[in-house]
Chain A
């Protein structure tokens, strides 16, 4: 059977796991084509207007797979960690797809719900295996191998590579030779989709900066800083973004921080707000918020990026410049 995986949402995080799981069970895996204007447009027209960009994009990638595959894989990631969720829209994703897109092939839905117990995830994959005609033992073995692959991938990420580097075989800039490090805070489906992020990572590297992404920060560090929040953050990815942002700021690992958010992202509205407030109160590192949606133009995006980098460079050059009156010309 040819199984299609849409190149959207958490594809960038779980690609090795899903790919090798299906491969081990003897299925052919087809990935939807890379995001283009056509893919985005077909998503925008089929999805409800109020949804956010990533969800629309997912619709586009599903539509892109129609006709190429026998079944489309749709992950329903309710929760990936006990007592946490991802996003309401991720939970209702299969239903949204079913009611918005016509002429769909068979859908195979993974129910991943670790809200009560982390072990429930295993059951989700076993059910998925059953759905595509694998025996329990086969599925279990495939999952074990897939998990090992996923683990290797995660290790590479923690070493400082970004998912794009691994998927495209790019070489990251070493921190030593870079002019500085810029922290990028954004959901994986925005940062690593080169159409949506308008090759943000490559552009920063071209200017001589190394990048640090949330995937590079160790989970233990994220947990440590998030434990200090007044209330447990119940969005796994919200926690990852806020935690890695705070860890970058706290460890003084970055010269500047860029938030990449999509218009209408409910979680980012809160996470970015908190991160900006904490940054302003405690660390005061230059930060910029870039919001993208289906109408974003590249020229404006580039201008903002250039202005931001210029600001960092001026600040580095002149921060020690104290005026004769005893205060810095920048007022701090």
Chain B
């Protein structure tokens, strides 16, 4: 059995570590490129959302490398993600690929099916070693996100541009050769140290922008056209509302403290939207309110074209802006998104925020002058 999975930002580190530990041969799909997207777009339904198309591209590129089993997670609606597995299975079947797809749905009532699927994947491993492997995978997720958070801070403040990204690039090269969660974790820790040593400019206070929106678009840099990097180079410190770590902690772990915090933030959305509409629309609203309260300079919402839950959030966000006055911009990405136009919009938004900040400082000084 050669197992593969779709890409989603740093998730490959944890999944590779997990499967390595369980002794399963794993094929990490090649990094997402234009070719991946092209394959996906050609073979997927036209109106499907972007993540599905990229997933299909990932599968086919992995199958070309020899994979015969695909593992994905599922959900139970109302977002389309819940039915990805079935549609993708049919697409691959009609194309004549003989692959097995194992879908891990959240075990709402059917624990037996869930356990059977884990058994099918894990083979002869004992439950204790499976549990240990999952535990270590969750640590990888946590530390990898911490590493990215360091990078986000450093990028806005680095002395010579590109310092952070050259180190992250070296990390990606190095980690591909590692086997098992211990080695992967070691590499992550090593690079956390290396990233921390990057020289910082002194006396700068970068603009702060919070990213909200659909989780896959936020986490996968190819899909959001490296928004974190682009903003970082414009001298902006980026805050991410949804990370893999956050997702794992809310959905899979038993961390009560974190869940309480999650609930507390969700409550902030109550005046605008007080129920789950699927996907992460509720979180989008709640985090926008939270970021506005925290005093961030601006908020950017990113979503794939046609994302049903985020459209609901998009139409409510103007109300949040009216109440709090923090500028919010919505970016919609799909397979036709051009990089130049996208970058221009980011630049314009950052310019606007800078001006806003400057006029605020001027007002303050004027106030001082007048006494």
Q: Which residues of A approach B to under 8 Å, CB–CB?
A: 47-48, 50-51, 55, 78, 83-89, 91-92, 95-96, 98-100, 229-235, 261, 263-270, 272-274, 277, 280-281
Contacts and interface: CB of A to CB of B under 8 A. Distances in A.
Given A234-B77, A273-B45, A95 B316 contact: yes
Contact of B309 (A88, A231, A268, A277): A88
Contacts of B313: 92
Nearest to A50: B311
A194 to B, nearest CB: 24
B277 A91 contact: yes
Contacts of B278: 85, 88, 91
A274 B312 contact: no
Contacts of B316: 92, 95-96, 99
Interface stretch (B14-22, B83-91, B166-174, B205-213): B83-91
A233 B307 CA distance: 18
Nearest to B109: A83
B236 interface: no
B135 to A, nearest CB: 29
A270 B315 contact: no
B305 interface: yes
Contacts of A91: 78, 275-278, 312
Nearest to A265: B47
Given A95-B273, A233-B83, A264 B47 contact: yes
B76 A234 contact: yes
B312 A88 contact: yes
A91 B45 CA distance: 25
Contacts of B311: 48, 50-51, 55, 88-89
B266 to A, nearest CB: 15
Nearest to B322: A99
Contacts of B79: 88
B86 A231 contact: yes
B265 interface: no
A274 B78 contact: no
B82 interface: yes
A272 B45 contact: yes
Interface in B253-287: 272-273, 275-279, 281
B230 interface: no
Given A88-B79, A91-B78, A272-B45, A266 B308 contact: yes
B40 to A, nearest CB: 14
Contacts, number: 120
A118 to B, nearest CB: 17
Nearest to B314: A48
Contact of A277 (B94, B273, B281): B94
Contact of B312 (A92, A264, A265): A92
Nearest to B312: A92
A66 B85 CA distance: 44
B107 interface: no
Given A87-B308, A95-B312, A99-B318, 6 more contacts: A48-B314, A88-B308, A89-B312, A91-B277, A91-B278, A274-B87
A230 B74 CA distance: 13
Contact of A235 (B46, B77, B318, B332): B77
Contact of B281 (A50, A92, A281): A92
Interface in B42-71: 45-49
Nearest to B84: A270
Given A83-B76, A92-B281, A264-B306, A78 B275 contact: yes
Contacts of A95: 272-273, 312, 315-316
Contact of B47 (A100, A235, A266, A274): A266
By Cβ-Cβ distance, the 8 closest A-B pairs, closest first, are: A92-B312, A85-B78, A269-B47, A234-B77, A273-B45, A88-B278, A88-B308, A91-B277
Contact of A270 (B74, B80, B94): B80
B273 A92 contact: yes
A96 B306 CA distance: 16
B103 interface: yes
11 contacts: A50-B314, A88-B279, A88-B308, A91-B78, A99-B316, A231-B74, A232-B76, A265-B47, A266-B307, A267-B80, A274-B90
A270 B77 contact: no
Contacts of B279: 88
A99 B318 CA distance: 7
A300 B354 CA distance: 49
A83 B87 CA distance: 20
B341 to A, nearest CB: 16
B280 to A, nearest CB: 11
Interface in B316-338: 316, 318-319, 332
Nearest to B46: A269
Contacts of A268: 47
A87 B332 CA distance: 20
A122 B90 CA distance: 39
A55 B315 CA distance: 12
B312 A96 contact: yes
Interface string B134-158: 0000000000000000000000000
Nearest to B83: A270
A253 to B, nearest CB: 23
